Amino acid sequence: MASSSTYTDDAIVLMQKDWSQADKIITLFTRDHGLVRAAAYGSRRSRSPLAGIQLFGEIKVTLAEGGSDSHLDTIRQYTSLDRHRTISEDIERLAYGSLITEIAAHLSPDHVPDERVYDALTDILLSLAERNPQLVALSAIVQLLSLTGWGEIISEDAAGSNEAPAPPPEQAELLTILAGLDWKNPPAFTARRSQIAACEAFVMDTLARRTGCRPRSLAFIRQLRGY
């Protein structure tokens, strides 16, 4: 019985939320089970074997499936594969990383595996640790919209009253580069700060119109910028 109700998978830690005095709810994107929300009992205690689970970390995790009356699985144990410390130690990278993972969790259906999304998130986090975090985040959101079935960022058949107007050519050019960006071999390109800001506004507006997602992490980014 125990063996049939537990499973082990590779996972990326997307979000963590305190739950009671000792526990957390952790949102994972797993390779073979897709988006999983799980209880990490005791993980807020420093001596807990689950206390070291870190945001943006890549882990191998064993979970027990939730019952029919529970939407949460339970984390039994884990081992760390990659912590991506550089992201967590830089406030701007942390902010944009939180934006990416919050949106990834919103766009992905529960328990629907998609290795393309898993591999993209792995590459995105590696790039976020090394490259311009705002551009990485923009490219990530554009690509995740496409991968999760919400459509291309610039689509000729995009539809109806819920779709934002097409961006001006200068923005469209940058968005096209970001939509096709190869994470392992990114092209060299330049973009002005005002151009990036305009593209970000367009992407966030498109995200909200298509999916209803208005990420809380964006407020923290704006606070960092001083507006």
Per-residue pLDDT of 99-121, as tens digits, reads: 999 999 999 999 999 999 999 99
Q: How far apart are CA 206 and CA 203, in angstroms?
A: 5
Band the pLDDT of 3: cuts 50, 70, 90. Answer: very low
Q: Which helix (H) or strand (E) holds 193?
A: helix 193-211
Q: How far apart are CA 93 and CA 82, in angstroms?
A: 16
pLDDT at 163: 59
CATH 2.40.50.140-classified regions of the chain = 3-83
pLDDT tens-digit profile of 56-97?
Answer: 999 999 999 987 667 899 999 999 998 787 898 999 999 999
Q: Judge whether 75 and 208 are in contact, CB under 8 Å.
A: no
CATH 1.20.1440.120-classified regions of the chain = 86-225
Give 86-225's CATH code, choosing from 1.10.357.10, 1.20.1440.120, 3.40.50.970, 3.30.70.100.
1.20.1440.120
**C-alpha closest to that of 31 among 118, 99, 152:** 118
Please state, as a whole number, how many other Cβ atoms lie within 10 Å of the Cβ of residue 119: 13
Percent of the chain with pLDDT over 90: 79
Class for the domain spanning 3-83? mainly beta
Q: What are phi and psi of 110, to 5 degrees?
A: -65, 140
Structure tokens at 182: 């190869």
Q: How far apart are CA 132 and CA 137, in angstroms?
A: 9
pTM: 0.91
Q: Which helix (H) or strand (E) holds 97?
A: helix 91-107
